[in-house]
Amino acid sequence: MLEAFVIAFIHCAGQRCAISYPRPDVAYGSYSDCAAQLPPVRAGAHAGAEIACIAVPDRYVADEWLALEPTNLRSAPVAGAEVIETIKRGATFRAYAEEHKWLCVETADGATGFVWSDRAKKIHTGPMTPEMKALHRCAGAKDEAAR
């Protein structure tokens, strides 16, 4: 996915503006899909807020995946890397990047590492919040594995 679109409320007071997201876990695959959702969202907007669909680059999009079977969370994107923990069948986790069938993920308990994508199924795509910084941790782990 090259980009996704999210609904944003833009609040300005003088020259200071802030952006908030009424549904930070929802992203749309196209501008038209996003814009189609604007009329129902307008009812939740505060006075003085503008409502818009904003493009979010792929590095800020996190996919939610479902483990189809018990799956090892590894410290690096290679089959022989240390197993950090085993993700139970049916558990969900967020994936921030995919490269050569390896997903860079963060589990519900905050553990980060790599999972083989054939052992899971993508169930939702959404924007990353500022708290979702696992991409950087995964990039660092990938660099370590390459050494």
- Tens digits of per-residue pLDDT, 70-85? 999 999 999 999 999 9
pTM assigned to the model: 0.53
- Tens digits of per-residue pLDDT, 116-132? 999 999 887 666 555 45
Distance of CA 28 to CAs 40, 55, 66, 97, Å? 15, 9, 20, 18
Q: Please give the domain boundaries of the chain with CATH numbers for all domains.
A: 3-58 (no CATH), 60-146 (2.30.30.40)
Rounded-to-integer distance, Cα 64 and Cα 103, Å: 11
Strand, coil or helix: what is 17?
Answer: strand
